[in-house]
């Protein structure tokens, strides 16, 4: 009986071990975004749809993984975003947060993520400080940043004659970083900044700020803002005759949904730097068609494409490690594996957490040039991956300095 009992216990242990070995690896992803305010069209539900497509394309079952997705609205408030991140990490067992438009919110979430040793993939926020002095071993900055925008759009405009600038700047981390980085480019290329004005986030009436810009006589009015703020600036600028008076807007961060909201009549001629355009090639068009099943009549922004790309790469790293538990380890694995997807192509994640891929300089078409819905951009130049983002030697990231 003792022998039989021993065999039964041993067999039970084997069966238990086999069952545990077959249990899928749990992964929980949180899309923290703007669902209801000025960035909702560029991020929001479209970012959730992009993350869902990434999970679908990864095929968790094929990798013995179970992936759950949650989402929340941070209301463009840093304290709200940080609170949601803590709740997700401590109580809801979220392993990774993605998107997070609004640099102030992103910087707060990055701190919480590092404290909890989870993973933060920034697609929506732009401040280049996220891979500079505020870099983190738990954070990757995926899609674009203020350095890329300044050296793409800002440099192109100065080199084509826009020498004097006045900035209308969103009064928080993103706006200040974009004005700072663009000012450096303007000055370095022989231009001059004659003034600026800080504007509260999600302002509806830009009248007083536009009058200051108009009075400055600057050739270029640099819009260091985004989403609804950019749309309102340009629409109200038309009422003041800004362009008719010989001044021009530089939309330093413009998305396809913004162009759609403005209409080509108002947006035509704007210069824009982006790493993704839905109509770039067969791969981007095929993905957009699938995304539009969830977002009919819309066109995806670079942020939403970045959510897809970042989420897919994250899942590859978790599969390689067979665990999502150690955030730093997952980010380190993401830096080892080359990036490769149909939206951004081949690239890499640097030691400072900056994802490297090409960027493209576009000009918004006139109504006569557009042949079908969403046919909004003319490709003016391709910025190679090794030139699109700030050199790591210049970013003052403590992670890089510590490794030297």
Over the stretch 304-360, which tens digit does the pLDDT of each residue have? Answer: 999 999 999 999 999 999 999 999 999 999 999 999 999 999 999 999 999 999 999
> What's the mean pLDDT in 66-91?
98
Domains along the chain with CATH numbers = 24-144+280-357 (3.40.50.2300), 147-275+359-387 (3.40.50.2300)
Over the stretch 257-269, which tens digit does the pLDDT of each residue have? Answer: 999 999 999 999 9
Over the stretch 105-163, which tens digit does the pLDDT of each residue have? Answer: 999 999 999 999 999 999 999 999 999 999 999 999 999 999 999 999 999 999 999 99
Average model confidence (pLDDT) across the chain: 93
- What whole-number distance in Å separates Cα of residue 16 and Cα of residue 38? 52
All residues at 6 or more sequence positions from 64 whose CB lies less than 8 Å from its CB, including other chains: 22, 24, 25
The pLDDT assigned to 244 comes to 87
Helix (H/G/I), strand (E/B), else coil: 348: strand
Confidence of residue 45 (pLDDT cuts 50, 70, 90): very high
HSE-CB at 23 with a 13 A cutoff on CA atoms is 10
- What whole-number distance in Å separates Cα of residue 92 and Cα of residue 248? 48
What burial letters (b/e) apply to 93-105, b meaning 16+ CB within 10 Å?
ebbbbbbbbbbbb
- What whole-number distance in Å separates Cα of residue 369 and Cα of residue 268? 10
Question: Between the CA atoms of 46, 47, 52 and 53, what dihedral angle is there, to the nearest 10 degrees?
Answer: 80
What does the block give as tokens for 190?
């022989």
Work out the percent of the chain whose per-residue pLDDT is above 70. 94
Residue 283 has pLDDT above 70, yes or no: yes
The pLDDT assigned to 295 comes to 97
Residue 3 has pLDDT above 50, yes or no: no
The pLDDT assigned to 1 comes to 43
- What whole-number distance in Å separates Cα of residue 353 and Cα of residue 365? 34
Work out the percent of the chain whose per-residue pLDDT is above 90. 91
> What's the mean pLDDT in 178-202?
96
> What's the mean pLDDT in 184-213?
96
Strand order in the sheet with 355-356: 339-341, 345-349, 355-356
What does the block give as tokens for 192?
């001059």
Confidence of residue 96 (pLDDT cuts 50, 70, 90): very high
């Amino acid at each position: 009986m003792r022998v039989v009992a021993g065999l039964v216990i041993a067999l039970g242990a084997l069966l238990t071990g086999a069952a545990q070995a077959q249990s899928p690896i749990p992964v929980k992803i949180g899309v923290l975004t703007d669902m209801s305010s000025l960035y909702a069209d560029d991020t929001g539900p479209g970012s959730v749809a992009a993350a869902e497509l990434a999970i679908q394309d990864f095929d968790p079952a094929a990798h013995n993984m179970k992936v759950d997705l949650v989402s929340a609205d941070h209301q463009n408030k840093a304290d709200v975003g940080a609170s949601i991140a803590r709740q997700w990490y401590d109580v809801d067992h979220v392993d990774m947060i993605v998107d997070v438009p609004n640099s102030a919110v992103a910087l707060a979430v990055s701190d919480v993520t590092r404290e909890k040793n989870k993973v933060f993939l920034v697609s929506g926020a732009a401040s280049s400080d996220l891979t500079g002095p505020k870099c983190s071993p738990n954070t990757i900055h995926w899609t674009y940043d203020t350095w890329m925008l300044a050296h793409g759009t800002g440099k192109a405009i100065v080199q084509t004659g826009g020498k004097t600038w006045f900035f209308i700047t969103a009064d928080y981390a993103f706006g200040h970083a974009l004005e700072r980085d663009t000012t450096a480019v303007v000055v370095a290329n022989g231009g001059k900044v004659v003034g600026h004005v800080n504007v509260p986030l999600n302002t509806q009436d830009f009248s007083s700020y536009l009058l200051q810009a108009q009075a400055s006589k600057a050739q270029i009015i640099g819009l260091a803002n985004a989403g609804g703020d950019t749309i309102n600036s340009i629409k109200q600028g038309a009422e003041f005759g800004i362009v008719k008076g010989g001044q021009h807007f530089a939309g330093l961060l413009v998305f396809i949904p913004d162009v759609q909201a403005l209409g080509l009549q108002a947006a035509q001629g704007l210069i824009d730097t982006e790493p993704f355009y839905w109509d770039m090639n067969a791969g981007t068009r095929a993905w957009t068609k699938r995304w539009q099943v969830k977002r009919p009549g819309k066109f995806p922004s670079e942020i939403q494409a970045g959510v897809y790309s970042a989420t897919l790469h994250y899942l590859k790293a978790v599969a390689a490690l067979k665990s999502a538990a150690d955030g730093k380890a997952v980010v380190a694995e993401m830096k080892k594996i080359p990036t490769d997807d149909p939206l951004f192509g081949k690239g890499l994640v640097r030691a400072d957490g900056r994802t490297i891929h090409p960027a493209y300089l576009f000009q918004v078409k006139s109504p006569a040039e557009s042949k079908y819905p969403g046919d909004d951009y003319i490709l003016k130049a391709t910025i190679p991956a090794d030139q699109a983002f700030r050199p790591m030697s210049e970013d003052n990231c403590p992670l890089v300095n510590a490794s030297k």
